[in-house]
Structure 1
C-alpha cells in the first residue's frame, strides 16, 4: 500500500468546546415542557444534521430562551426563569422535550456540567450531551410587524382552511395556505384541487400589504398554539415578503414562503346554485360517517335531495348497502350528487354546532357549503367540494 491514508470524518458531540460553555438556570417544569414540546412540533420531525436537530437553550438575566431552526423555519420562545449563571448550550431537542414532559417536580434546574447539560430535580439527574454550539446557524430576529389579529380568530379560521390543503408535496402549491390582506380583512385559502376552503376574518393592518403562501401544516400547528393568545403579530420581510413570522406570548415562528402559483378562489366559489339545502351540519356529518363503511373501496356517498329530507346512501357489492335520512329544508329542484365521504365529512365538521346551506349545481360543478347564520366571532368560512362522476 502506498500514498496517504484516506481522511475519515467522524461526527462527535462538542466535547472540545464544553469548557467554554457555562449555564445555570431554574425554570418551572411545566414552562420548560411546554416550550420544548412546542419547538419540536413546529420544526420538521426528521433532521439529519444533529446540530439543526438541536435545541438552543440560552439563560439570560431576565429569563430562558429556547430556539431552533432548520434554516428555513425558525422558532424562538421566552419563558420566565431564575438565572444564576447566564450562558447558552445546544442539546438534542427531542430528548430534552421528552424528559421535561415526564418530570413531576414543580421546578427544574438546567446546569452545564462538563460535556453535559444536567437536568436536575430533587432526587433526580438527567444529562444530555452538548452539541457544537458554534456550528449552529442561530435564530435571526423577527421581521417587522405588518398587522395584528386575535389568536382565537386566527385559530378558528386557519384550522378548517388548512384541512383542505393537500398532503401530497408533488405539487408544492397545493400543500400551502394562502394568506392575503384585503384592507381590514384577512383572507385564508387552501385547496387540494378536489375541495377548497376560504375564510375571512377581521384584523388590524399596521403597514404594507400581505399576500403569501405558507406551508399549511405549519400554519395549522401555529393556529393550535395561538388559540388562547389575545394578540398575534403577523410579520414579513421587505416588499418581497420572502419570510413571514408570527409572534405571540413570548413565542416567534418564522418561515420562508412557498414560491408557487396559486389558483384564484373567486373562480371556484359559485354565486348561484340549482338547489340549496338547509341542514344541521352535525346530523349530516354523522350520517355520512355511518354510511361510509358501505360506500365501497372509494368511499363515495350519494346525497339525494327530496322535498323535505336529504338521503345519504352508500352501496357496494362486497360491503352491502346503507341509507340514512336527515331532515332538511330544500329550495330548488331535487337533485342527486356523489361525494367522497372523507371530503364531505371534513367540510361539514368545519361547521360543527351550526346549520349549513349546501348549494349544488351541475353534476360536474363544485358544490358549496356555508354557515346558515353569520358566525358570532365574525369569521366567514366557505367550503367548496367537487362531486365525483357516479359509477
Structure 2
C-alpha cells in the first residue's frame, strides 16, 4: 500500500499511546495494519482499544501486526513523502523517498479481538467535549494505588453531562450539554483520565463525537467514542467515585474575574522560590490579587 506521510504519522502516533507498555503478551506491543479497500490501524492494551481507517493506494490486501513504538518512531522521522508498505515474508518494508526501513512482524494470531462498540447513547460537539475533558483531567490523581482517583467521573442526566475529577487536594467539575438518543437517560461511568484525554485527542478536528455506554447489565462495562473513521473503547474503572457535590458552595462570598495569562505568569514567578509541597496563598483586596 501507499499512503500520504501526514496520515500515517498522525495515526501511528495516536495508536502507539494506546499499546501496552508492560504487556502480558508480546502481541499487545503491536499495531495491526489491516489493508482492505481502506486501511485500518488498531491497537489495544486489553483495557483500552483504538481504531482508525483512512484511504490509501492499495495494491494487495492483507493483515499484519508490527511493533507499535518502532512504527511510530519511523513514521515521525522519515521524509515528508508518500510512504509505501510492502510485506516480504515475516517483515514489512517501509519506504519514503530515499529512506528505507524493515519492520519485523509479530504473531497476529495471538492478537486479541477488539471489543465491539456499544450502541450509541448520544452525540456531542467534539470541540466542547475535548475542552471539557482537558479542563477536568488536570485534577485527576496519578497514584495507581488509588485507581478510583485516577479517573474522571462521567455523570449523565438527560441532556447534561457532568465531568468530575479529584486527587483529594484538587477538584475540577465541568458540566456540558449533549444530544442523547434517549431524552430521559440517566447513567454514569468512571474512566481513566488518560483514556478520556486520549479520546479527546483522537477526535480532534472532527465535528461531532458519538458517546456509547454499555448498559449496567452488561459484563463488559464498556464506554465507546467514535467520530468519522475513528473509534475508541475503554473498560470502566472499578470502585466508587467519592461524593463531591457537597464540597461545591451554592453561593460564593465574592467573585473575581482575572485575566488568565497574568494569573499564570504571577503564579509561576512566586512558585520559583517555594517548595512544590508549599501551597500558595491568594489574597484578594479591592481590585487587586
- Output the TM-score relative to the length of structure 2: 0.92
- Match of 2:49? 74
- Match of 1:260? 239
Asked whether 1:277 is paired with 2:267, we answer no
Asked whether 1:38 is paired with 2:17, we answer no
The partner residue of 1:175 within 150, 154, 179 is 150
- Match of 1:338? none
Asked whether 1:229 is paired with 2:206, we answer yes
Root-mean-square deviation over aligned CA pairs: 1.9
- Match of 1:215? 192
8 Å contact kept, 1:236–1:245: yes
Distance of 2:286 and 2:186 partners within structure 1? 48
Residue 289 of structure 1, CA deviation = 1.6
8 Å contact kept, 1:55–1:90: yes
Check 1:286–1:60 CA distance in 2 against 1; reply closer, same or farther (3 A cut): same
SS in structure 2 of the partner of residue 42 of structure 1: coil
SS in structure 2 of the partner of residue 180 of structure 1: strand
SS in structure 2 of the partner of residue 158 of structure 1: helix
1:1-391 superposed matches below 5 A: 25-47=1-23, 49-61=25-37, 63-207=38-182, 208-240=185-217, 242-296=221-275, 298-310=277-289
Distance of 2:208 and 2:257 partners within structure 1? 35
SS in structure 1 of the partner of residue 106 of structure 2: coil
SS in structure 1 of the partner of residue 101 of structure 2: strand
Distance of 1:124 and 1:165 partners within structure 2? 42
Residue 39 of structure 1, CA deviation = 0.3
SS in structure 2 of the partner of residue 128 of structure 1: strand
User: Which of the two has greater strand per residue?
Assistant: 1
Check 1:309–1:105 CA distance in 2 against 1; reply closer, same or farther (3 A cut): closer
Q: Which stretch shows the higher mean deviation, 240-249 or 155-164?
A: 240-249
5+ residue gaps in structure 1?
1-24, 311-391
Check 1:296–1:110 CA distance in 2 against 1; reply closer, same or farther (3 A cut): closer
Larger radius of gyration: 1
SS in structure 2 of the partner of residue 220 of structure 1: helix
The count of corresponding residues between Structure 1 and Structure 2 is 285
Check 1:258–1:297 CA distance in 2 against 1; reply closer, same or farther (3 A cut): closer
Distance of 1:88 and 1:32 partners within structure 2? 16
8 Å contact kept, 2:202–2:230: no
SS in structure 1 of the partner of residue 100 of structure 2: strand
5+ residue gaps in structure 2?
none
Check 1:238–1:303 CA distance in 2 against 1; reply closer, same or farther (3 A cut): closer
Check 1:240–1:194 CA distance in 2 against 1; reply closer, same or farther (3 A cut): farther
Distance of 2:78 and 2:186 partners within structure 1? 45
